[in-house]
Amino acid sequence: MRPEPPSSMSEPADLLLSVRDLSVVFDTDEGALTAVDRVSFSIRRGEVVGLVGESGCGKSVTSMSIPRLVPMPPGRIVSGEIEFLGHDLLSLPIPELRELRGAEIGVIFQEPMTALSPLHRVGEQLVETILLHEKVPKREAWERSVRWLEKVGIPDPEERMLAYPFELSGGMRQRVMIAMALILEPSLVIADEPTTALDVTIQAQVLDLMREMRGADTGLLLITHDMGVIWEMCDRVMVMYASRLVEEGSVKDIFSQPLHPYTEALLKSMPSLSTGQARLPSIPGQVPSLSNLPAGCNFADRCPYVMDRCRQEDPRLLSLGQDRRCACFLREPLAVTA
Ligand code: SF4
């Protein structure tokens, strides 16, 4: 049974997810490191939103905080609100949260073995996913699972139902994961680097599959370090750097007119848009360590436009109009006041 949303829902009809001022820290030997710093964003029904940035920028922690899948400890959500279909996810009791996971929030991980049990056959795991959330006869759950394996392009689906995950190729396992994430037709799918572990031809097939298989009203949050994937898949993109959101906009706007120097550098580092498989070569300089962030703007040490002010003050993420935000002093004249 999916929990009923509270009756006091007042958000716009197409708003699916609203994350406000989310901060997540990790307790380490070096002290408390802020992995996600006051991040706010929303996702509407039917939208594909990309979250892009280099490794360690906080994009996976941001996305896994939504279904509360960040390991705690060492992680701690220290502030913020996450509202999903009228539910306050950060205060929802664990049993209700479990009902939402899978039924309303599907997660596709980079490495399918994170989600698939090596000890159980693929079919058992798919059937179990259905039976955990729906009171249907086992036979019906089995038949639906076979149909989903077929839908995600797995040959001989009835035979594959009896296979253990280790008996399948990496591409096949990722298809099983996609089937498992979508089989209950969730309203939101979070895909964390879903194609990074796959070879180039399989990557393109898996991206096509995710695009085709999600429902028309399903929101998709796609985490990637690959601007080519953003271009291929997304309506809107958010750029993260060293634990903060630094730019947001429609894919068209961001690719035609990046406003943050980091976004500009990401796009310049793309060899080609045409293949859709471009990986980000390194941008000069190093991502700062979360234990030793510079004063002022986190990007200051790598920014070709750095000014004295950037080393003293922290640029706020300012709204530049609908769906467009940027955290850079250079863009302050474009800010709109609410
Ligand atoms: Fe560069 Fe300054 Fe803008 Fe930061 S605030 S991105 S250092 S110009």
- Interval 126-158: pLDDT, tens: 999 999 999 999 999 999 999 999 888 889 999
Ligand 1 lined by 303 (C-beta under 6 Å): yes
**pLDDT tens string 300-314:** 999 999 999 999 999
Q: Relative to the CA of 303, which ligand 1 atom is closest?
A: 1
Three-class SS of residue 183? coil
Q: What is the pLDDT of residue 216?
A: 78
Considering the entire predicted model, what is its pTM?
A: 0.88
Q: What is the pLDDT of residue 164?
A: 95
CA 315–ligand 1 middle distance (angstroms): 8
CA 245–ligand 1 middle distance (angstroms): 13
Which positions of the chain have pLDDT values less than 50?
5-10, 273-278, 280
For residue 37, give the H/E element and its range. Answer: strand 31-44
Q: Across the beta sheet with 105-108, what order do the strands follow?
A: 105-108, 188-192, 219-224, 48-52, 236-241, 244-250, 325-326, 318-319
User: What is the identity of the amino acid at 57?
Assistant: C
Ligand 1 lined by 315 (C-beta under 6 Å): yes
Helix H, strand E, coil C: the string for 307-338 is: CHHHHCCCCCCEECCCCCEECCHHHHHHCCCC
122-133 helix and 94-103 helix, angle to the nearest 10 degrees: 120
Ligand 1 lined by 109 (C-beta under 6 Å): no
**pLDDT tens string 81-125:** 999 998 999 999 999 999 898 889 999 888 777 778 899 999 999
CA 247–ligand 1 middle distance (angstroms): 12
What tokens were used for 290? 């979360």
Ligand 1 lined by 318 (C-beta under 6 Å): no
The CA distances from residue 177 to 55, 124, 145, 161, 258, in Å, are 23, 13, 12, 13, 34
How far apart are the C-alpha atoms of 261 and 279, rounded to whole Å?
19
Select from 262, 299, 325 the residue to mutate for testing ligand 1; criterion: most ligand atoms less than 8 Å from CB.
299
Ligand 1 lined by 329 (C-beta under 6 Å): yes
What tokens were used for 35? 């992995």
Ligand 1 lined by 259 (C-beta under 6 Å): no
170-182 helix and 122-133 helix, angle to the nearest 10 degrees: 10
- Which residue, by CA, sits nearest to atom 7 of ligand 1? 300
- Which residue, by CA, sits nearest to atom 5 of ligand 1? 328
